[in-house]
Structure 1
């Protein structure tokens, strides 16, 4: 008796499901995630099978994954290009014999090859050093005992470092083991090109190369 009641309830439940689906033919279309859990062996001629619908969903997922893969490959290629450019820059810097050649190499690579917009090399204690009060304010405000600063500057700070005033973001690094030698600032018109969350590996290498080279070309 218990088994009969159970079968009756099961049959009734199936009937309700069938009736519901017939009354709501768009239900599975509006709830596509259910299709991934349904197995249909075949379909009637003239109708769209759930298998075909599942296949369509899979094709859409494949397209999304292919797009994501393409984007990742493009990013990888761009990163490889930037890495090679920085590697070539480091070799050029090692061959420099004057500070003028250092600045020229930085300008050629950073402005022309990497298409950045401004560079400013200031050596502390030299003729092109920043005004002492302004320098002290900049170092205290932007570095906080760190070697790097990545982000935006005030209009007064931009005017102090760059000829152009429309710099959106900067990468600044102090030169020397303790930041005692000078400062290199690289500017971009784009406000978010340089930001605090970006990777600093290549900037670190550049800072280390300049720290090694500049003392050989200037009096410190």
Structure 2
């Protein structure tokens, strides 16, 4: 197929003046270089602003869609975890079943539900004194205490409180940016509250 010449394009646009109006997606992508008396035209500035605004809106929609999908996956995952609370009657079985469920998530490489012992005192002091949960990157000592060497970020939840801890629930990811402080964890916190009640019953 022969390439169109500039003259052919110009002739087509002349014969079809509504072409760009009927193709707004194409107009938004065009970089029009029009200058009058040494100054960039107002039309050019407006088009550039509209193009930037369209890009921003597109990115926002994609981000909202991504978060909605993630929230749905988290909701389904912890709905399964909720069902395990009342079908298991000892700590070890419950911990094992929760690990099997949560580690089905492609971004979670480790899951631990452990009873509190003195070895976790420094972890609570460092990460869980001012809040009952921590999301973010972990150091080597915490990695060795809870996870494997490949784990880079974690979500750590205290079951009970810092003065009377019952257990620790922790998820690890090999992605250093998967767990971060600003992350929404509403579904997880709801599960943690139910888990605490169940563990007190099993104690």
Fold similarity call, TM over 0.5: yes
Q: Is the 8 A contact 2:132 2:161 kept in 1?
A: no
User: Which shows bigger deviation, 79-88 or 182-191?
Assistant: 79-88
C-alpha distance in 2, partners of 1:66/1:121? 40
Q: What is the alpha-carbon root mean square deviation over aligned residues?
A: 2.8
User: What TM-score do the two structures reach when normalised by structure 1?
Assistant: 0.64
Counterpart pick for 2:44 among 32, 37, 52 = 32
Between the aligned partners of 2:200 and 2:86, the Cα distance in structure 1 is 12
**Pairing 1:40-119 to 2, within 5 Å after superposition:** 61-62=53-54, 65-66=57-58, 68-113=60-105, 115-119=107-111
Distance 1:114-1:83 versus aligned 2 partners, 3 A rule: farther
Q: Do 1:93 and 1:105's aligned partners in 2 also have CA atoms closer than 8 Å?
A: no
Aligned residue runs from structure 1 range 8-19, under 5 A: none
Q: Give the structure 2 partner of residue 14 of structure 1.
A: none
How far apart, in 2, do the equivalents of 1:67 and 1:161 lie? 37
Does the CA contact (< 8 Å) of 1:177 and 1:211 recur in 2? Answer: no
61 and 108 in structure 1: CA distance in 2 versus 1, 3 angstrom threshold: same
**Residue 44 (structure 1) aligns with:** none
Classify the secondary structure of the residue corresponding to 2:41.
helix
- Aligned residue for 1:107, secondary structure, equals helix
TM-score if structure 2 supplies the norm length? Answer: 0.69
Q: 2:156 aligns with which of 169, 172, 176?
A: 172
Given that residues 99 and 112 in structure 2 are in contact (C-alpha distance below 8 angstroms), is that contact kept between their aligned partners in structure 1? no
Q: 1:68 to 1:190 in 2, by over 3 A?
A: same
1:205 to 190, 197, 201: 190
- SS at structure 2 position matched to 1:96: coil
Q: CA offset at residue 73 of structure 1?
A: 2.2
Inter-partner Cα distance in structure 2 for 1:157 and 1:185: 11
Residue of structure 1 in register with 2:8 after alignment: none
The answer (yes or no) to whether the contact 1:121–1:185 under 8 Å persists in 2 is yes
Name the CA distance, whole Å, in 1 between partners of 2:40 and 2:62.
34
Change (3 A) 1:70 1:213: same
Give the greater-gyration-radius structure (CA). 1
Counting matched residue pairs gives 168
- Cα deviation, residue 187, structure 1: 0.8
